[in-house]
Amino acid sequence: MTDVGATRILVVEDDEVGATLLVELLGTLGEVHWATSAEQASEVLARRDWDLLVSDIDLPGVDGLELVRLVKRQRPQLAILILSGHSSFEHAVAAMRAGADDYLTKPFDPPGLLEKAQALIERTRAKRAAGSEIVLAVGAHPDDVEIGVGGILLRHAAQGHRVTVLTLTGGEAGGVATERAAESQRAAELMSARLIHADLADTSVSEGGATIGTIVDVIDEVRPTTVYTHTSRDVHQDHRNAHSATLVAARTISRVFCYQAPSTTVEFKPTRFVAIDEFMEAKLEVIRAYASQVKIRGYLDEELLRATARYWSRFSQVRYVEPLEVVRDSDAVQVSPNRYGAVQLPEQVLDAG
């Protein structure tokens, strides 16, 4: 049987009686949460990783099939079981075409439901194991990550890797925080990424305890195998301090890379050049999600973004590239027992890979 403490199941059902039955029954397999709508489910899904989604089709507002499509775009590894009062073959086919992994009609046989749920939980875990890389990209402001490694993150997602974006501030110094938060969420959805939006003060990000603690908390939850962050070679203090804090917080992570920002200086010295040819157009679409900034920031001009990626391709055999400085790319790292240990890590390890 699946370890109850390690398994998370989300039930989406607007009928309280039916939901209560499902929560009690599926509670024998793990930790069960209940959402009454697709909109609420989307919010809950974004907060953590899940092993199984169980949903009705007939939901208030956005229906269950549209929820399935949305979830499969954002979390392709998550198994989905549709429970529906519609017993027609056409409804079952529609659910499977939307991306559902299995379909059961109501009323259902409890042992049969548990058997299917257990199998789907194992399917989710098998897919995660196959795409075992877990990626965390840290940015000081909304759009930092997308500019620096948007194409790389799209590439990770296409390979089935789990991608999380941590944005440390609301970017309130450069626009309306609520508007920028909504734009960040849309950008994350386009990258099939999970967004974690912290609330540090824009222009006042420190390299010390508050910033380190924020990043450590996310690393402890996400358990990334690869981390992307700002370079230290940057004129923006938030970027430099985010870089320093990330190096301390991610000192146990074996793969750490630094990306370019519009405020990066000519001292930026990348030695890793990642091809994004097939993701360049998708990256530009992600950038368009930041509509409030595209209007006023010249560095978000699509021609400039394309030209920048084209420039870095001079070090490769492809057309479009995102450049990275390599902090560390190894199989094992010495673990420090100190949460905020002042471990001095090399800024860059030259690697022509």
How high is the pLDDT of residue 334?
A: 37
Secondary structure tally for the chain: helices H, strands E: 12, 12
Please check whether residue 205 is in contact with residue 241, taking contact to mean a CB–CB distance below 8 angstroms: yes
The closest alpha carbon to 218, from 255, 167, 169, 261, belongs to 167
| Domain 134-329 annotated CATH 3.30.413.10 | no
How high is the pLDDT of residue 160?
A: 80
Which residues, 6 or more positions from 38, have their beta carbon under 8 angstroms from its beta carbon?
A: 12, 55, 59, 61, 62, 63, 64, 66, 67, 70
- What are the pLDDT tens digits along the chain (353 aa)? 333 346 899 999 999 999 999 999 999 999 999 999 999 998 888 777 799 999 999 999 999 999 999 888 778 889 999 998 888 888 888 889 889 999 999 888 999 999 999 999 999 888 777 667 899 999 999 999 999 999 999 999 887 888 999 999 999 998 899 999 999 999 999 999 999 999 999 999 999 999 999 999 999 999 999 999 999 999 999 999 999 999 999 999 999 999 999 999 999 999 999 999 989 999 999 999 999 999 999 999 999 999 999 999 999 889 999 999 999 997 544 333 344 333 333 333 333 33
- Domain ranges across the chain: 4-130, 134-329
Structure tokens, 194: 């999970």
How high is the pLDDT of residue 178?
A: 93
How high is the pLDDT of residue 42?
A: 87
Given the DSSP bridges, would you call strands 162-169 and 134-139 parallel, antiparallel or unpaired? Answer: parallel
Instruction: Read off the pTM.
Output: 0.62
How high is the pLDDT of residue 130?
A: 67
Give the burial class of 201: count Cβ atoms within 10 A of its Cβ; 0-12 exposed, 13-18 middle, 19 or more buried. middle
Give Cα 217 distance to the centre of its chain. Answer: 15
The closest alpha carbon to 61, from 74, 48, 72, 70, belongs to 70
Task: Report the alpha-carbon distance of residue 52 to residue 23 in Å, rounded.
Answer: 13
CATH among 3.40.50.2300, 3.10.20.30, 3.40.50.300, 3.40.50.2000 for 4-130: 3.40.50.2300
Q: Is the C-alpha dihedral spanning 68, 70, 71, 72 positive or negative?
A: positive
Task: Report the alpha-carbon distance of residue 149 to residue 309 in Å, rounded.
Answer: 11
* Domains 4-130 and 134-329 are alike in CATH topology: yes
